[in-house]
């Protein structure tokens, strides 16, 4: 009980009352207190599990997932989070459903949510689509609840959209906080969010955007570096600038990977597609112009190929703070000589950080569980305390 009180006391100092009954779409829609509360609950839930105390708050209920793009990590993180809290995952497989047949989002949302306490959606492929879809979905279930069709209002968790990837970036950030020993240690730290070469194309922008949208809130100096033409969404850059100004940090853009890495405390080299190209692809898809898409893909690969030198090498790592920057990646990475001939990162760099990378990923289930928890409980402090008092073992023996 003593230990859980540390989390409870921390929560007592934060204002996150608006998270009750809410959704999680974009980190920059949440206050700093709300972000901090999410990390705190994530850590508390992890502590419970590590101490074999059940965090099963739901005796029944569904966690519905809808993946409009392949996923392993996020799928298993969502499943783990739901399971930890007692929700059974039910995947909405659009291929096995009748949805194709012109059904509205509002209808689908209501039809699958009768016993859903949470809905997790990944929809990251088309600019202007994913986040919009999630909000429409959330609006539909809110109305369904008000209308009395749904006995509970499911919480919507953004499992990656065209704009942000909040469960990923929150996990990344919590890893950084743990690595450096607390939020108060981050002031002035330099973060290099850089593009990196990949032989594939069209990777979503949600990770770089999510990183500059969140990490600028901790008083850090966030560098976004990419070759010309690989710009991210301008709206998110504005968010990053505003965040930096408010937090006493900096948001700096450049076209130099070396400049970004120089004395960086944290590096996040990762490939993505140019925003403008993704926008173009979205409208080509809209128009059903498949020849246009093919031509665009060819162009993108050729464009990528001009930047093979954007690789996270040992030399670049040496130029970072004491040669020991924290290397981050959302995984899977394109590793030179391992998963491709030339890629985002040198094999020796990746291998040295492997354990750290897995630890980074291990925060995701707890971050998702915390998002759900904070939406479901009016007084999470009390619920956490009650879970400890209940003293139900996670594994009976």
Q: Which of residues 156-185 bind a copy of itself (CB under 8 A)?
A: none
Site string for a copy of itself, 114-133 (x = CB under 8 A): xx-x----------------
CB atoms under 10 Å from CB of 274, counted, come to 22
Task: Give the residue, chosen from 219, 249, 274, 365, that forms a contact with a copy of itself under the rule CB under 8 A.
Answer: 365
Whichever of 214 and 369 has its CB closer to a copy of itself, that residue is 369
Query: Interface residues for a copy of itself in 243-282 (CB under 8 A)?
Result: none
Whichever of 1 and 355 has its CB closer to a copy of itself, that residue is 355
Strand-pairing partners, residue 156, are 119
The verdict on 395 binding a copy of itself (CB under 8 A) reads yes
Confirm if 46 and 77 have CB atoms less than 8 A apart.
Answer: no
Rounded to a whole number of angstroms, the distance between the first and last alpha carbons of the chain is 21
Whichever of 148 and 234 has its CB closer to a copy of itself, that residue is 148
Query: Interface residues for a copy of itself in 61-90 (CB under 8 A)?
Result: 61-62, 64, 67, 70-73, 75-77, 79-80, 83-86, 88-90
Query: Interface residues for a copy of itself in 25-54 (CB under 8 A)?
Result: 46, 49-50, 54
CA distances from 168 to 16, 158, 203, 206, 394 (A): 21, 10, 15, 9, 26
Categorise residue 367: left if φ over 0, alpha if ψ from -120 to 50, beta otherwise: alpha
* Among the residue ranges 179-187, 217-225, 228-236, 383-391, the one whose residues contact a copy of itself (CB under 8 A): 383-391
Whichever of 13 and 52 has its CB closer to a copy of itself, that residue is 52
Radius of gyration of the chain (CA): 21
The residue with tokens 């859903």 is: 116
Q: Which two tokens stand for residue 97?
A: 């459903």
User: Cβ 16 to a copy of itself, closest distance in Å?
Assistant: 16
CB atoms under 10 Å from CB of 393, counted, come to 10
Whichever of 94 and 184 has its CB closer to a copy of itself, that residue is 94
The verdict on 391 binding a copy of itself (CB under 8 A) reads no
CA 81 to CA 74: how far, in whole Å? 10
Sheet order of strands, 221-225 included: 250-254, 221-225, 190-195, 266-270, 326-327
* Among the residue ranges 34-42, 100-108, 223-231, 262-270, the one whose residues contact a copy of itself (CB under 8 A): 100-108
* Among the residue ranges 8-16, 113-121, 220-228, 270-278, the one whose residues contact a copy of itself (CB under 8 A): 113-121
């Amino acid at each position: 009980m003593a230990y859980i009180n540390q989390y409870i006391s921390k929560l007592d100092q934060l204002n996150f009352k608006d998270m009750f009954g809410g959704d999680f779409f974009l980190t920059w829609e949440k206050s700093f207190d709300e972000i901090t509360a999410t990390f705190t609950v994530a850590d508390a839930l992890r502590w419970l599990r590590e101490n074999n105390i059940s965090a099963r708050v739901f005796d029944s209920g569904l966690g519905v997932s809808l993946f409009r793009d392949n996923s392993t990590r996020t799928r298993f993180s969502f499943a783990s989070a739901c399971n930890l809290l007692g929700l059974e995952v039910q995947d909405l497989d659009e291929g096995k459903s009748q949805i194709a047949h012109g059904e509205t989002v509002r209808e689908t949302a209501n039809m699958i949510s009768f016993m859903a306490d949470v809905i997790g959606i990944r929809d990251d492929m088309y600019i202007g689509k994913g986040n919009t879809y999630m909000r429409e979905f959330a609006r539909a279930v809110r109305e369904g609840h008000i209308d009395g069709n749904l006995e509970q209002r499911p919480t919507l968790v953004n499992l990656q959209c065209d704009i942000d990837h909040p469960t990923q970036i929150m996990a990344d950030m919590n890893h950084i906080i743990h690595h450096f020993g607390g939020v108060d240690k981050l002031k002035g730290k330099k973060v290099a969010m850089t593009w990196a070469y990949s032989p594939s194309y069209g990777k979503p922008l949600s990770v770089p955007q999510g990183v500059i949208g969140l990490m600028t809130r901790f008083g850090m100096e966030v560098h976004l570096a990419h070759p010309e033409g690989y710009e991210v969404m301008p709206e998110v850059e504005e968010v990053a600038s505003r965040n930096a100004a408010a937090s006493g940090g900096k948001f700096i853009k450049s076209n130099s990977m070396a400049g970004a890495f120089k004395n960086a405390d944290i590096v996040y080299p990762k490939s993505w597609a140019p925003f403008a190209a993704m926008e173009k692809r979205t409208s080509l898809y809209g128009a059903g112009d498949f020849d246009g898409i093919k031509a665009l893909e060819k162009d993108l690969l050729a464009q990528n190929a001009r930047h093979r030198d954007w690789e996270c090498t040992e030399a670049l790592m040496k130029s970072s703070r004491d040669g020991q920057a924290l290397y981050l990646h959302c995984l899977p990475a394109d590793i030179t000589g391992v998963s491709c001939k030339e890629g985002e990162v040198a094999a020796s760099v990746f291998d040295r950080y492997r354990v750290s990378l897995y630890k980074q990923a291990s925060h995701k289930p707890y971050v998702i569980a915390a998002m759900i928890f904070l939406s479901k409980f009016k007084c999470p402090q009390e619920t956490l305390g009650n879970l400890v008092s209940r003293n139900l073992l996670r594994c009976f023996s």
